[in-house]
Structure 1
Amino acid sequence: MILVTGASGQLGRLAINALLEKTDASNLIAAVRNPDSVKDLAEKGVQIRQADYSQPDTLLNAFEGVEKVLLISSSEVGQRTAQHRNVINAAKKAGVSLIAYTSILNADKSPLILAEEHVATEKLLSESGVPYVLLRNGWYSENYTMSVAATLEHGVVGCAEGGKLSTAARADYAEAAATVLLKEEQAGKIYELAGDESFTLSDYAATISKVSGKAVSYHNVPEAEYAKILVEVGLPEGFAAILADSEVGASKGGLFNDSKTLSTLIGRPTTSIEDSIKASL
């Protein structure tokens, strides 16, 4: 049995779908806070179990009889380490044979503040005694393309300077997770996962211009100013600061990787940023 945590989220749903293409639904468990949110998965034959990262008892029940767990990192920045500890402890008590954890690209040397909780989780896994594999995911292309409509109106704004971004579509990472979960002898492996193609935000603006037919340019601003802009468009102050820090990290190479490990793992080229822009438009 393979259990996917956070199965109602964007990556979780895609991971379940990728697994359904490779194995029978009877082998899969979707762990979610609210089972009603994944009725469609239940209709496909996926077993649904209630589980909350912050409620250890629910995790113990959810992991009963489970062989492998895809631990999708919590979306609650600042609470991740404690929540992930609960998951790891429950998996250990349940005798899980493998945890696949979605970490961050170049975690052990990343300049991004976001990497701190991932590094802490990797340490917890190392100390747990539970076999594990690290899926160090790079940036999702959707982090940018989800706001492409606003970009067409206002241009690309950021503080990444000329830093290269090796993004891939969220579905690419989900397919990689499914592939790893169905492979044997994965314990101890570390996959640095990123898109085949890398681009700067100036390149991104040029690609939007090409695809849309409307001239778009990139405006680089100081980190504090970018964070302020994000707050003005509705993001919480703390999260805005983290995103701005991530762009500065990108300027230092924190979101670049040219190993093509992701495309090798999934057996095809990763989705290009141009195709992601087209899909978003």
Structure 2
Amino acid sequence: MIVVTGATGNLGSQIVDRLLDRLPADAVGVSVRDVDRAAGLAERGVRVRAADFTDPATLKHAFEGADKVLIVSAAIRGADAFVANRAAIDAARAAGANRILYTSHQAASRDSLFAAQPIHAAAEEHLAELGVAFTALRNGFYASTLSLSIGAALETGQLVAPADGPVSWTAHADLAEAAAVALAEDGVLDGVTAPLTAAEMLDLEAVAAILSDITGRTVERVVADDDEWREAATARGMPAAAADFTLGMYRAARAKEFAVTDPTLETVIGHRPAPVRSVLEAILARR
């Protein structure tokens, strides 16, 4: 059996859908915090069990009988994120999984300026030390994150954010497909993968130009001072910790930590990854 965690989240739900295109439902299990949200999966024949990374005792039941476990990294900030991810990794090993997969990041590094990346690097190191086959999916930066940067740009005509740099924005759908392939097919991706990215790198000035083209209204890129941006963000209600976390993303971007593209994702999924334009069009359609 293949078990996928976080199966009601944006990435996890898409991974399960793509996995069910390839495997019978009774070969798939999911680990979720709220089983009611996974009722549709249960109706399709998927094994649904409740578990929480922050309550390791629940993971034993959720991972029972798993040959492979895909751990979608915890949506937690700070040191607690690694503790939660490690608990899930260790539970998968204890359950007897012969391969453990983990959603890492293209820029995973102990030295990153973005606080999420040392957490991913630590998880990768822990996986490598277990003596179990593993795959660390170094996912490209989620293109859906642009919805946060866009903010009020469409209303004000200004995309205001700290100085940034080129990012290989990558669609959830493509990354979900790659994860499903890695789960269903042996030998496709092994160990720490190459960066799983879209084919182009864009900074926010380029994003603003695409927004202008899509909407027919001029969107100007305005670079804000870091401290002034943080002050404005917290004044709008963003928690200070979240503002600092986001600033780290911009600082890492301008240090070119995300300025990389690689053909591996396209090779694995068998088609060109979605460009930023299509992701922006989908974001705008939901507004």
TM-score when normalising by structure 1: 0.94
Decide which of 274, 277, 287 is 1:274's aligned counterpart: 277
- The amino acid across from 1:106 in the alignment is A
- Which amino acid is the alignment partner of residue 231 of structure 2? K
**Partner residue of 2:48?**
48
- Paired with 2:58 and 2:275, the residues of 1 have a C-alpha distance of 39
Deviation (angstroms), 1:148: 4.4
Q: 1:172 to 1:140 in 2, by over 3 A?
A: same
What aligned pairs does 1:98-113 form with structure 2 within 5 A after superposition? 98-108=99-109, 110-113=112-115
Distance in 2 between the 1:158 and 1:147 partners? 7
CA offset digits 1:107-137 (Å, max 9, x no partner): 1364322211111111111222222111111
Cα deviation, residue 242, structure 1: 0.8
SS at match of 2:260: coil
C-alpha change, 1:110 and 1:233, in structure 2 (3 Å) is same
> What is the 5 A alignment of 1:105-184?
105-108=106-109, 110-145=112-147, 148=150, 150-154=152-156, 155-161=158-164, 163-184=165-186
Quote the Cα distance in structure 1 between the aligned partners of 2:151 and 2:114: 27
Conserved in 2, the CA contact under 8 Å of 1:14 and 1:171?
Answer: yes
Tell me what 2:249 maps to. Answer: 246
* Match of residue 98 from structure 2: 97
Check whether the contact 1:4–1:69 (CA below 8 A) recurs between aligned residues: yes
**Deviation at 1:227?**
2.4
Residue-by-residue CA offset, 1:198-229 (whole Å, 9 max, x unaligned) = 11110000000000011101111122222233
| Secondary structure in 2 matching 1:196 | coil
> What is the CA deviation profile of residues 174-193 of structure 1, one whole-angstrom value per residue up to 9, with x for unaligned ones?
11111111121344242311
Q: Return closer, same or farther for 1:173/1:230 CA change in 2, 3 Å cut-off.
A: farther
Structure 1, residues 225-252: CA drift from partner, whole Å, max 9, x if none? Answer: 2223332333221111111110110111
Decide whether the 8 Å contact of 1:98 with 1:187 is kept in 2: no
Q: CA RMSD in A?
A: 1.6
* Distance in 2 (alpha carbons) for counterparts of 1:246 and 1:269: 26
Contact 1:112 1:254 in 2 (8 A): no
- Matched residue type, 2:131: G
Counterpart CA distance in 1 for 2:66 and 2:116 is: 29
Structure 1 range deviating more: 137-146 or 184-193: 184-193
Deviates more, 1:203-212 or 1:243-252: 243-252
Matched length: 280
Corresponding residue of 2:213: 210
Contact 2:178 2:269 survives alignment (8 Å): yes
CA, structure 1 residues 145+65, in 2 after alignment: closer, same or farther (shift >3 Å)?
same
- 1:62 alignment counterpart: 62
Contact 1:60 1:94 in 2 (8 A): yes
Distance 1:20 1:40 in 2: 13
Match of 2:263 in 1: 260
- Contact kept? 1:146, 1:280, Cα under 8 Å: no
Secondary structure of the 1:235 match is coil
Q: TM-score, normalised by structure 2?
A: 0.92
Secondary structure in 1 aligned to 2:191?
Answer: coil
Offset at 1:158? 1.6
**Partner of 2:225 in structure 1?**
222
Q: Distance in 2 between matches of 1:131 and 1:259?
A: 23
Corresponding residue for residue 83 of structure 2: 82
Stretches of structure 2 that go unaligned for 5 or more consecutive residues are none
Secondary structure (helix, strand or coil) at the match of 1:29 reads strand
